Chains A and B, each alone.
Chain A
Amino acid sequence: MGHVRLTAAAVAKRSIQRRPWRSFCLIFAVLLFSFALFAGSVLTLSLSSGAESMANRLGADVMIVPAGYDPHIDSILLSGKPSNFYLPADTLERLSRFEGIERMSPQTFLATLSASCCSYPVQLMGIDFDSDFLVKPWLDATLRRELKDGELIVGYRVTGEPGDKIKFFGKELTVVGRLEQTGMGFDAAVFLNRPTIAMLAKEAERIIKHPLAADGSLISTVMIKLKPGEDSVQTAREMNSALNGDGIYALFSKKFVNSISASLKTVSWMVRGGLLFLWLLALVVIALLFAMSLAERRREMGVLRALGASRSKLIRMALTEAFLVSLYGASLGVALGAAAVAAGSPFVTEALRMPFLLPAWPTLIFLALGAAAASLLTGLSAALFSAVRAAKSAISDAMREA
């Protein structure tokens, strides 16, 4: 014969279990809302972080690419889709004639092949250490020396730790560092110095003819930093009118950043709109289900009042029920949201064509707790009106119900 303790939570839990379908709908409504709130917040924040990272990382005011390749720059910058393209040999000399340029940094691209079935195509980026302002700040802070021949730095998503050896075109190179996450195509790229990339192109010639093998000085893009006060739009326009006919295209990076920002705004508004709709739906569904449940139990409430439960106690009991249901739904929703974010994050950039950078762990935990709390409050507020109304009923009227 066991000892029984009857607490308010125990009474509430019994009531929840007694009506499984109604309780399931309540839990599901809260689950759906908390899932959307958490996943939606993480998505919006990650897209903002990605856009901010891109704006910071790009550093360049103007990007020079071969004419016709300007649409492809999206793929490279966003997803690191490997590309091979090269500017005319005298590009740097032609660009040096323009005023307003503070510094120029050439980069050389080389795409690996997917010859080996366990490898996947990677973008190799040869940087000019003296003029570079993309990777060099990171190098200065971590490696504290220039990149030597035969060395490489891997992007965040490329497999390889400092000290590892990676083979490209049959040549073994040493990993000396890993870039922190940028949310952009740099995460899937590998950075080497230009002599090394020229050497690799020669090795690549054993498999496929490559222009870089013949001329190691070829460059794929030039990142240009303008002097303070210079207008990047105007400069790009001037460069295009002078150089378009020679196969060179100038792209002001703000255009790229702005188009990303515009897309981000649209996505953010869609997410917010969706969340507001879901919140209203959750509120209405929970309020309706609770009202129905408490109306059904009017006589029960009357009996509790007759036995000595005060109005405030009755409201507390009803809210305890709402709390338990909402807590369960909110926890499950946030957990599912976390699972969806974890499972989907590697594919978001490709799907949305926007940079994506997941927030740090403390921020994710804060968002999770916030989403759970908001869902809990939604469940409680939806139930409050019905609970108060039920408690205010006259005891004799409530008990008269058959």
Chain B
Amino acid sequence: MEPVLKLKDICKEYRRGGTPFFAVDHASLEVEPGGYVNIIGRSGSGKSTLLNIAAGMLPPTSGAAELGGVPLTGKDDAELSRIRNDGIGFIPQGASALPTLTVLENVMLPFCLYPHDGDGCGYARLLLDRFGVADLADAWPGELSGGELRRVLIARALINRPQIVIADEPTSDLDVRSTRDVMEAFAKLNADGTTLLIVSHDLDALKYGKRVYTMSEGRLAEGNRLAP
């Protein structure tokens, strides 16, 4: 079966004080449909950089990235943005809801960026209900708890029925209970067939995934290399 996401020999080079260094150093990864991949690693290991490349938000210095067989490299900004909108449900790190829109409007936002068939408003309400935050539809993001907000952002990521949901540190600023709620939501999503790629430095998140990779100094290796 064709992988949903395919990263082949990805490199991302930066210059720091004139000296080149590789934030991502020849990383390769394939995520199959229905897969649930965790990438763990210490701060500064290059996880977020790899994630940004995988989500088509950062061009690699070299290597190839494909989403559903469609190359992400060599595309102009307009094409890439559309691919990202339709094909990837991205959950950024931290609070990333627009404070000027209600919860419902935040969930609808990706749907409204481009013409889409169907009832975006109705589906947004359905998603909010699915994650147990339907009664917060008319609330403002600032009025929600961390856990509630994170579930809203998961709903937002699903509004366009993407091929893959990519989350960057989804539980980084949450308490234990909220972390558990969020990870269980992801697990349920995956059980329903959604493909997931999650970056985290929280080792407890591992028990919810199917495969794990470790990022260290820009290098990606399969398995948990951080276990004591």
Contacts and interface: CB of A to CB of B under 8 A. Distances in A.
Interface-centre pick from A6, A309, A396 (highest chain B CB count, 10 A): A6
Interface-centre pick from A4, A306, A402 (highest chain B CB count, 10 A): A306
Interface in B36-61: 48-49, 52, 55, 57-58
Interface in B90-147: 90, 92-94, 96, 98-101, 104-105, 108-110, 112-114, 121, 125
Interface stretch (B66-74, B81-89, B207-215): B81-89
Interface in A1-25: 1, 3-7, 11, 14-15, 17-18
Given A3-B121, A312-B78, A396 B52 contact: yes
Contacts, number: 82
Contact of A14 (B78, B86, B100): B100
Contacts of A17: 100
Nearest to A401: B94
Given A6-B109, A14-B101, A306 B57 contact: yes
B114 A18 contact: no
Interface size range of chain B in the complex:
20 to 34
A4 B105 contact: yes
Interface in A294-333: 299-300, 302-313
Contact of B81 (A15, A303, A313): A313
B191 to A, nearest CB: 25
Interface-centre pick from B82, B92, B99, B156 (highest chain A CB count, 10 A): B92
Nearest to A303: B96
Contacts of A305: 57, 81
For the complex of A and B, the 9 pairs showing the least CB-CB separation, nearest first, are A308-B85, A310-B81, A14-B100, A6-B112, A395-B57, A18-B100, A308-B84, A303-B96, A396-B52
Interface of A: 1, 3-7, 11, 14-15, 17-18, 299-300, 302-313, 394-396, 399, 402
22 contacts: A4-B108, A6-B108, A6-B112, A11-B100, A15-B100, A18-B100, A303-B96, A304-B109, A305-B81, A307-B109, A307-B110, A308-B81, A308-B84, A308-B85, A308-B86, A308-B113, A309-B81, A309-B113, A310-B82, A311-B77, A313-B81, A395-B57
Interface of B: 48-49, 52, 55, 57-58, 77-78, 81-82, 84-86, 90, 92-94, 96, 98-101, 104-105, 108-110, 112-114, 121, 125, 156
